[in-house]
Amino acid sequence: MEHKQWWLDGVGYIIYPQSFLDSNGDGFGDLNGLRSKLDYLRDLGVNILWICPIFDSPMDDGGYDVRDYYKVNPLYGSNEDLDCLIREAHERGIRILLDLTLNHTSIEHEWFKKAVADPNCEERGYYIIRKGKRENGKLLPPNNWESFFFTSAWENIEGTDDFYLHLFSPKMPDVDWSNPKLRERYHEIARHYLDRGVDGFRLDAIAHIAKAPGLPDSTKAPDSTGFVPDTDMYSNRPEVLDYLREFNELVFSHYDCLTVGEAGGCISPEQALKLVNKKDGPINMVFNFDCVWQNGAWDSIGKNPEERQLDLVNLKKNFLRWYEVCHKQADMPLYWCNHDHPRVLSQYGSKDYRTESAKCLLITLLFLYGTPFIYQGEEIGMANPAYPSIEDYFADAGERCEVPALRKQGYSDAAILDNLQRTSRLSGRSPIPWNHNENGGFTSGTPWLKLGEEYKHGINVLDEMNDPWSIINFYQYAILKRRLPDINETVLNGELQIIDIENPDIFCYLHDGTEKLMVVSNFRPYEVKFDFYWRIKDVVLHNYDSVLLDNHTFTLRPFESFLLKV
Ligand code: GLC
């Protein structure tokens, strides 16, 4: 496959459209709201937008449950609005990636409705529908797989013995990629949007599109739900490569487009390389999950605070593992978080050192090997909003399923709320505050999800812009640096070395290329000493106003971070 690689001097930005900016007062962000902020995004310095799904959807799972792939969600606008957005983005040198859900549709998709209504229709074969088991008169699911939403992965079709498979919400039936007719439908959808001018796709949940042939029971032990979360059965199976090869051959390779797969399910860099290597990988990059949740927060409801600390050594090793396999052979995206995670400021940074930690996280990510993707709101240092009640979190399909599961396991509501406040992905979805007016200027109506309180106290775009030392102004400056040809060349082609990788507090790395670029970041909310024997030629970026370097020892203040030329 020929790569034109326009994304290699790019910086990406992830948009959760529902929460970006509402232009018509219905409480939901929309395409015209986004369009009105294209100058803002250009000035920030980003030039690739991954927009989470914008297709017509009953919104069980924030639009990942698609009802009609050919129609823009009326909450977000019209097909014409999308055309305008694409055109105006291109005028500003910004490329658009749409988010394509390939693993499932909504139960309200025409295909699924037909599939349920008529067992003999073509669409029946688009889904994974099997007879349940009858044991002692009781109807049980066809196998013991667990969904990612903490329930059986099967839902009964009312009035029948049939079940459909759903790895995510019960309202999102999985489609059957082993069916060539189904694959053709997705090829047509992708072609349609590429012909309309989009520049590529984020391919949702591709890790899961192939299932173990015959759909056997997992032989692993069930968890507290009584079912088995077994990625061997439905993640990163070899057929994924075949399906994506065909997709590339028939569609992607005919366009100058970027394809970034979402590869969860514990994919290894070696497995990923088959999908993304520059020689014959069918897609361009994959988002892996190895650098998120390195603070013990995942599945942490029963853990005490000591077990919920950032494991910086592991984080560094994970970056290095992926670098070592992908460098020279494949492109890689970099990110701290997206719409599926709590805010990185609350995960790895600190609200007590909001400005310092937001800048530190940016410097550290921006100069690693890969194409950085910033998640909306990171540029103003948004933290988790800590909603006051469990019900506030029911705006998310995952939480609607998780909370009953946790209650069944005997956790108190206080423990569940604390867990949600720390770990819910809804935290990353609170609307963007554009100013300090009511609802942060996000909407003139009632926002679909409450904003946190912080926008009233300076954490909003306008106030951030007005402060010369703010996070947002630092972002602009740092991204400008990242995109300078010499620096970009060094980051992408220089040799990366992580210095003192076993150091539990300091993330220090060196890129040895056209330039010698070094990042030194203290990831702790306290002072840490760090031995340093390099000659500093230039301090390119720094988040404090003085340097404490004495007799080859840095005194690094909380979240102090440098980009140096050495
Ligand atoms: C991806 C999306 C997530 C969604 C899931 C099911 O992981 O990022 O938001 O819930 O797929 O589509």
- How far, CA to CA in Å, does 32 sit from each of 28, 143, 245, 451, 460? 11, 45, 35, 20, 20
Exposed, middle or buried by CB within 10 Å (0-12, 13-18, 19+), for 203? buried
Question: pLDDT of 83-111, one tens digit each?
Answer: 999 999 999 999 999 999 999 999 999 99
Q: For the residues 473-496, what does the mean pLDDT come to?
A: 96
Question: pLDDT of 254-278, one tens digit each?
Answer: 999 999 999 988 999 999 999 999 9
Would the CB of 64 count as within 6 Å of ligand 1?
yes
Q: Over 248-282, what HEC string results?
A: HHHCHHHCCCEEEEECCCCCCHHHHHHHHECCCCC
Q: Is 301 within 8 Å of 292 (Cβ atoms)?
A: no
Residue 434 above 80 pLDDT? yes
The atom of ligand 1 lying closest to the CA of 425 is: 9
Catalytic residue among 176, 262, 463, 560: 262
Contact partners, residue 66, CB within 8 Å, separation at least 6: 53, 55, 56, 57, 101, 105, 106, 109
Question: Given pLDDT bands bounded at 50, 70 and 90, which one contains residue 33?
Answer: very high
CA distance 444 to 346: 28
Residue 1 above 60 pLDDT? no
The atom of ligand 1 lying closest to the CA of 62 is: 9
Would the CB of 81 count as within 6 Å of ligand 1?
no
Say how many CA atoms lie within 13 Å of 134 toward its Cβ. Answer: 4
Amino acid at 265: G
CA of 268 to the centre of ligand 1 (A): 20
Question: Given pLDDT bands bounded at 50, 70 and 90, which one contains residue 4?
Answer: low
Would the CB of 348 count as within 6 Å of ligand 1?
no
Would the CB of 168 count as within 6 Å of ligand 1?
yes
State how beta strands 138-140 and 133-135 pair: antiparallel
Q: Whose CA is nearest to atom 12 of ligand 1?
A: 64
The atom of ligand 1 lying closest to the CA of 398 is: 10
Residue found by looking up tokens 């969600």 in the block: 73
Q: Whose CA is nearest to atom 7 of ligand 1?
A: 205
Tokens for 377, please give them: 């709101």
Exposed, middle or buried by CB within 10 Å (0-12, 13-18, 19+), for 225? middle
Question: pLDDT of 301-322, one tens digit each?
Answer: 989 988 999 999 999 999 999 9
The atom of ligand 1 lying closest to the CA of 61 is: 10
Q: Whose CA is nearest to atom 2 of ligand 1?
A: 204
- How far, CA to CA in Å, does 278 sit from each of 115, 394, 492, 539? 39, 42, 14, 34
CA of 16 to the centre of ligand 1 (A): 12
CA of 68 to the centre of ligand 1 (A): 17
Q: For the residues 442-459, what does the mean pLDDT come to?
A: 97
Q: Whose CA is nearest to atom 4 of ligand 1?
A: 64
Testing ligand 1's pocket by substitution, the residue of 16, 52, 54, 64 carrying the most ligand atoms inside 8 A of its CB is: 64
Testing ligand 1's pocket by substitution, the residue of 18, 168, 203, 235 carrying the most ligand atoms inside 8 A of its CB is: 168
Mean pLDDT of the chain: 96
Give which of 170, 172, 163 is closest to 128, Cα–Cα: 163
Helical pair 471-482 and 354-366, crossing angle rounded to 10 deg: 10
CA distance 8 to 487: 12
CA distance 325 to 268: 10
Q: Is 531 a catalytic residue?
A: no
**pLDDT at residue 224 in the model:** 85
Would the CB of 396 count as within 6 Å of ligand 1?
no
Q: For the residues 20-30, what does the mean pLDDT come to?
A: 98
Residue found by looking up tokens 């056997």 in the block: 216
Q: Is 249 within 8 Å of 263 (Cβ atoms)?
A: no
Would the CB of 199 count as within 6 Å of ligand 1?
no
The atom of ligand 1 lying closest to the CA of 52 is: 8
CA of 59 to the centre of ligand 1 (A): 12
Catalytic residue among 61, 81, 204, 560: 204
Tokens for 140, please give them: 């049980």
Would the CB of 559 count as within 6 Å of ligand 1?
no
Would the CB of 99 count as within 6 Å of ligand 1?
no
Would the CB of 340 count as within 6 Å of ligand 1?
yes
Give which of 331, 359, 564 is closest to 470, Cα–Cα: 359
Q: For the residues 321-342, what does the mean pLDDT come to?
A: 97
**pLDDT at residue 9 in the model:** 87
CA distance 198 to 100: 12
Q: Is 81 helix (H, G, I), strand (E, B) or coil?
A: helix
CA distance 271 to 254: 25
Which letter does DSSP use for residue 395 in this model? G
Domains and CATH numbers, the chain: 6-105+180-221+235-396+413-476 (3.20.20.80), 495-565 (2.60.40.1180)
The atom of ligand 1 lying closest to the CA of 338 is: 8
Helical pair 471-482 and 485-493, crossing angle rounded to 10 deg: 80
**pLDDT at residue 299 in the model:** 87
Q: Is 204 a catalytic residue?
A: yes
CA of 262 to the centre of ligand 1 (A): 9
Give which of 394, 401, 428 is closest to 169, Cα–Cα: 401
